[in-house]
């Protein structure tokens, strides 16, 4: 099926327009509360945004890297370097997006940098055609299920309060971060209070195979999955762990491409994959991975990187693609920021679903005054 209908073919055939101007703008938005994980605690979102102008139309995209390499090897600094010195010089008017992607392959890795340029061009093309991004992808609109990622908390009481709030909002599933020493008993507390909750955990690679007895204890809690329990770069040992665990393993950090997904599936390293469009190099590779997984009975969902309204909207549109079978990390804007740089904010409807932002492109408007207020760096590249 996928061979007759390559899932990203409709995007691959689009032609890149002539670009008049490109800017990188870095904004720093304070989080409403610190976001704690096993690898770092972030207190604000430092997001590098790209603005591409063509024939009087301007498109914004967002690089999902952080200023630090604690979740992923790319940083805003490396992404800027790769975009400026290697990717943008490869972009020529008249080339198809498929050709662009082929040229980009010469640069090894750096998917977050690649996604910033690729998504920016796709959003620009959508705007010029007057189409929403999901229409450009050839996908019908639908209500998008919500999911929330709750960071590490200071106490079980604080954790329970956060879960309670999420349950009241009708989030489609709740994920909590775990780390060594803050796991089984915290999970038990949530499960005892919310026996029917669609519930999962994310370790961001904090455990080793030698922690097998502890990880197996998680099987008692009816979790939807345990995300990235072992090292950020591992696929092989996750297969050994999955053989020993009842709970489905979901890979996040380890999956950078369709080839990685194929390896993980062949090795039976996971039963679920978290697709972050930035981490895998953009919308086209995301669509390929999702369809490939769907054909093999592997569930996928869209992860998040605490994006501003720009990246958040891209993630929402992506979830119309074939294969996105589970709620992702797509939560309300107010979960992160008092004031985003784009509007309208993402909100849940009374059933816990999200409407795709309406209108051409990603459907959200970047508010220039808010960008200016939050900008900590601005550079014209072209
Ligand atoms: O591991 O999924 C992760 C945020 C930053 C870096 C890594 C991760 C996360 C999240 C939050 O879990 C996702 C979101 O709410 O956007
Ligand atoms: Mg994760």
Gap from CA of 97 to ligand 2 centroid (Å): 29
Region 12-17: mean pLDDT is: 97
Scan for tokens 């932002």, then name that residue. Answer: 357
* pTM (predicted TM-score): 0.97
Does ligand 1 lie within 6 Å of residue 335's CB atom? no
pLDDT at 101 over 70: yes
Share of the chain above pLDDT 70, in %: 99
Gap from CA of 279 to ligand 2 centroid (Å): 11
Q: What is the DSSP string of 301-347?
A: EE------HHHHHHHHHHTTSTTB-S--S---GGGT-SS-SEESPP-
The CA-based diameter of the chain, rounded to the nearest angstrom, is 60
What is the number of the ligand 1 atom nearest to the C-alpha of 336?
15
Please give the mean pLDDT across all residues of the chain. Answer: 97
Does ligand 1 lie within 6 Å of residue 302's CB atom? no
Region 207-219: mean pLDDT is: 98
Say if residues 300 and 325 touch (Cβ distance below 8 Å).
Answer: yes
Tell me the pLDDT tens digit for each residue of 284-293.
999 999 999 9
Does ligand 1 lie within 6 Å of residue 71's CB atom? yes
Which amino acids are annotated catalytic?
177, 276
Say if residues 284 and 257 touch (Cβ distance below 8 Å).
Answer: no
pLDDT category of residue 2 using cuts at 50, 70 and 90: very low
β-pairing, 21-36 vs 199-202, is unpaired
- Residue 57 bridge partners (DSSP): 54
Gap from CA of 16 to ligand 2 centroid (Å): 32
Three-class SS state of 76: helix
What is the number of the ligand 1 atom nearest to the C-alpha of 204?
1
Q: What pLDDT score was predicted for residue 178?
A: 98
Tell me the pLDDT tens digit for each residue of 332-356.
999 999 999 999 999 999 999 999 9
pLDDT at 273 over 50: yes
Say if residues 175 and 200 touch (Cβ distance below 8 Å).
Answer: yes
Tell me the pLDDT tens digit for each residue of 146-168.
999 999 999 999 999 999 999 99
Tell me the pLDDT tens digit for each residue of 275-333.
999 999 999 999 999 999 999 999 999 999 999 999 999 999 999 999 999 999 999 99
Tell me the pLDDT tens digit for each residue of 4-14.
568 999 999 99
Say if residues 80 and 24 touch (Cβ distance below 8 Å).
Answer: yes
What is the number of the ligand 1 atom nearest to the C-alpha of 276?
2
β-pairing, 226-227 vs 249-251, is parallel
Does ligand 1 lie within 6 Å of residue 305's CB atom? yes
């Amino acid at each position: 099926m996928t061979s007759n209908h390559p899932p990203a073919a409709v995007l691959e055939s689009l032609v890149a327009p002539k670009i008049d101007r490109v800017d990188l703008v870095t904004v720093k938005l304070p989080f409403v509360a610190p976001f704690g994980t096993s690898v770092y605690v972030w207190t604000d979102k430092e997001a590098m945004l790209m603005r591409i102008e063509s024939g009087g139309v301007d498109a914004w995209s967002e690089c999902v890297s952080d200023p630090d390499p604690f979740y992923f090897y790319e940083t805003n600094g490396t992404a800027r370097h790769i975009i400026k010195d290697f990717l943008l010089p490869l972009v020529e008017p008249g080339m198809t997006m498929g050709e662009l992607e082929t040229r980009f392959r010469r640069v090894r890795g750096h998917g977050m940098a690649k996604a910033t340029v690729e998504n920016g061009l796709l959003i620009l093309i959508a705007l010029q055609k007057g189409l929403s991004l999901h229409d450009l992808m050839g996908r019908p609109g639908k209500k998008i299920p919500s999911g929330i990622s709750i960071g590490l908390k200071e106490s079980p009481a604080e954790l329970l309060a956060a879960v309670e709030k999420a349950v009241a909002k009708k989030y489609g599933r709740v994920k909590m971060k775990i780390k060594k020493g803050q796991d089984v008993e915290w999970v038990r507390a949530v499960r005892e209070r919310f026996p029917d909750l669609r519930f999962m955990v994310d370790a961001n690679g904090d455990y080793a195979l030698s922690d097998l007895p502890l990880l197996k204890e998680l099987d008692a809690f009816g979790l939807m999955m345990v995300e990235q329990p072992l090292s950020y770069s591992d696929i092989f040992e996750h297969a050994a762990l999955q053989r020993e665990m009842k709970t489905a393993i979901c890979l996040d950090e380890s999956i950078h491409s369709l080839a990685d997904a194929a390896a993980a599936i062949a090795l039976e390293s996971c039963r679920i994959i978290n697709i972050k469009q930035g981490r895998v190099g953009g919308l086209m590779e995301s669509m390929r991975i999702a369809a490939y997984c769907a054909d093999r009975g592997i569930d996928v969902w869209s992860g998040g990187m605490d994006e501003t309204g720009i990246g958040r909207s891209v993630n929402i549109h992506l979830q119309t693609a074939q294969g996105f079978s589970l709620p992702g990390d797509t939560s309300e804007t107010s979960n992160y920021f008092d004031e985003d740089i784009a509007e309208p904010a993402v909100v849940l409807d009374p059933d816990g679903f999200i409407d795709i932002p309406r209108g051409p492109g990603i459907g959200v408007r970047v508010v220039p005054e808010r960008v200016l207020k939050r900008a900590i760096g601005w550079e014209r590249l072209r």
